[in-house]
Structure 1
Amino acid sequence: MFLHFGILLLLSHGLLGEVDVSEAIDGDSRIVGGKDATPGMANYQVSIRIHRGKQEWHNCGGSILNEEYVLTAAHCVYRKRPDEMFIVAGSHQLNKGGDRYKIKKLILHEKYSKPDIKNDIAIVQIEGKFKFSDKVQPIELLKEMAPIGKKCLLTGWGYISYKRRKGTVPNNLQMLEFETISNEDCTKQLKKSVYAKLVPVDAGQLCVKRPKDKGACKGDSGGPLVIQDYKNKTVQIGVVSWGYPCTANFPDVYASVHGFYDWIQSKII
């Protein structure tokens, strides 16, 4: 739902191979405007879906933390019931493949604030356990603060085009490269936008600079932002929270994995 007070709260309507995230970060990648993610590079990514009657649709992204838990944004599961949602893991396509998992419990941050979109982080516990394979694996979280000016990568099924609250949903998982910026710089830029009331950006958030005419969009909420650490390991640094729809020249805002690291660990023990 990248639409919250006119804001795009990035909500919506694994993969085989030997390619890793570092190759994508070094390449030309985007979501709005669209490039398919290479199969094999995001086996931690899941699709969080809503079902009503015989209808179902992709709602948000998420990332696998361990055999039972998924990390996502609080606004993705706010006022939702576990029995109206499920998770698909192990496919980079929305229309086929992957394994479905029922949801046992939704754990929102206790201080999640819908009006100013703070503490926008949540944990989803599935029924049973994930079946790990080359298509389904957990992502490691970065405990330290993410470096500024670092290339990073987002994957998701958010709109690949967006106009007047309407968009095109991709079938294939998309990817987009960003660059981290400081919270101070982010606050300064967003103060010039119509969303000035949502700043300053706090310690529970991090920001990224968008590529020109590209950006995360509706359906990408809750999805994982990752980097390559100094050991060349793929680690998650952020969870898609909100941004200015959808390709405007303003930063995108994420929940910070570093800022909520202890909270996350306390919920998945």
Structure 2
Amino acid sequence: MLGAGSILNKKWILTAAHVLNDAWMYPGWLEQYVVSVGIFTRPTFLNENVTSTIKMYSIGDYIPHEEYSNEEGNNFEHDIALIKLGPEFNSKMEAMGADQLTFGYYICPVCLPCTGTCLTEKQLVDEDGISLIREGMSESQKCLEEEKLYLDNDAQIVLTGFGHMNSSVFPVTRRTFNPSRNLRQALLQIERQRTCEQRADEIRFNEDFGTFTFTDNMFCCKSGDSNKIIGACRGDDGGPVVREVKSVETGDACWVQVGIVSFGYRCGLNYPGYYTNVARYIPRIQSKTEA
């Protein structure tokens, strides 16, 4: 298990570029990996029966961000990638022909910011109910206002994944890697950007991560419970962090993916985790997945 991702539509998965960073440059690598969806309980041995909710697909195409480069392992700028699904496999790893998802209770797409699928312009208001959208604003300017609503005010967000279970074991190697059998969720709290930058400086100097730099294309989070160590860990990479948004008209809620699990040091033990800011990449996501 390399990492995670989120479903954008019937053909595309959103993930972090570093998840497949060591693989995609080699000829024929696509054939070595499978994308699994609909997993709530993870199979743990080779011949274990796969539940009917789990669907497995080959990778039809892989598109990391054009400016992503992580040769030294410490750079996470533009840590975002798209996976196009190939043919589906059955439990015997035989191709079945279908190359798109069928949505249902266990398999469904996530909402993205700045697309109008969840938060509408009517909801883009300040604390006094005054609209944040002004006449003549470009789509990118509107998106920045929406981004602020998601990430400001110490917002609480939810992480899901099958990541490593023991933050006291470090470093996490293939031998010590202990992923969860069941899908888990964790409550995180978004840190202020200045704090994220300061803690990134500490990681760079104290832990010898010489090229790690915090940018506006990222945000960071601490544990949502001050009494517990909670954070993303190995195996959660590329997975979504989402925030609940409620309609001011109906009260109905939807979940918007605000971030992608990108980088963390010791699984939240001493430092916040760092996440790719999805709102900054909406035009790119749309242009690649709608083509």
TM-score by length of 1: 0.74
Aligned to 2:110: 139
Q: Structure 2 CA distance, aligned partners of 1:184 and 1:200? A: 13
The 8 Å contact of residues 90 and 99 in structure 1, kept in 2 or not, is answered as yes
The 8 Å contact of residues 222 and 230 in structure 2, kept in 1 or not, is answered as no
1:71 and 2:14 aligned: yes
Q: Structure 2 CA distance, aligned partners of 1:181 and 1:65? A: 26
What is the count of residue pairs matched by the alignment?
Answer: 212
Q: Structure 2 CA distance, aligned partners of 1:198 and 1:230? A: 39
**Alignment gaps of 5+ in structure 1:** 1-57
DSSP-derived class of the 1:239 partner: strand
Aligned to 1:246: 267
1:201 and 2:214 aligned: yes
The 8 Å contact of residues 152 and 225 in structure 1, kept in 2 or not, is answered as yes
DSSP-derived class of the 1:233 partner: strand
Q: 1:105 is matched by which residue type in structure 2? A: D
1:99 and 2:55 aligned: yes
Q: 1:265 is matched by which residue type in structure 2? A: Q
Q: CA deviation at 1:201?
A: 1.6
Which has more strand, going by share of residues?
Answer: 1
Q: Which moved further from structure 2: 159-168 or 228-237?
A: 159-168
1:113 and 2:69 aligned: yes
Q: Structure 2 CA distance, aligned partners of 1:228 and 1:213? A: 22
1:187 and 2:162 aligned: no
1:158 and 2:158 aligned: no
Residue among 89, 92, 100 paired with 2:37: 89
Post-superposition Cα deviations, 1:197-251, rounded to whole Å, max 9, x if no partner, equal 4554212111111243222111000000000124221110000000111232311
DSSP-derived class of the 2:202 partner: coil
The 8 Å contact of residues 62 and 84 in structure 2, kept in 1 or not, is answered as yes
Q: Structure 2 CA distance, aligned partners of 1:141 and 1:198? A: 30
**Alignment gaps of 5+ in structure 2:** 44-49, 87-98, 115-145, 248-252
Aligned to 2:239: 223
Residue among 75, 78, 85 paired with 1:126: 85
- Aligned identity (percent) is 28
Post-superposition Cα deviations, 1:83-113, rounded to whole Å, max 9, x if no partner, equal 1111111121111320111110011000002
Aligned to 1:5: none
Q: CA deviation at 1:158?
A: 0.7
Larger radius of gyration: 2
The 8 Å contact of residues 184 and 201 in structure 1, kept in 2 or not, is answered as no
DSSP-derived class of the 1:131 partner: coil
Q: Structure 2 CA distance, aligned partners of 1:151 and 1:178? A: 6
Aligned to 1:236: 257
Q: CA deviation at 1:254?
A: 0.7
Q: CA deviation at 1:182?
A: 2.4
Q: 1:63 is matched by which residue type in structure 2? A: S
The 8 Å contact of residues 261 and 274 in structure 2, kept in 1 or not, is answered as yes
Over aligned residues, Cα RMSD in angstroms? 1.6
Q: Structure 1 CA distance, aligned partners of 2:6 and 2:37? A: 9
Q: Structure 1 CA distance, aligned partners of 2:76 and 2:266? A: 15
Which has more helix, going by share of residues?
Answer: 2
Q: Which moved further from structure 2: 65-74 or 197-206?
A: 197-206
Closer/same/farther in 2, CA of residues 102 and 199 from structure 1, 3 Å limit: closer
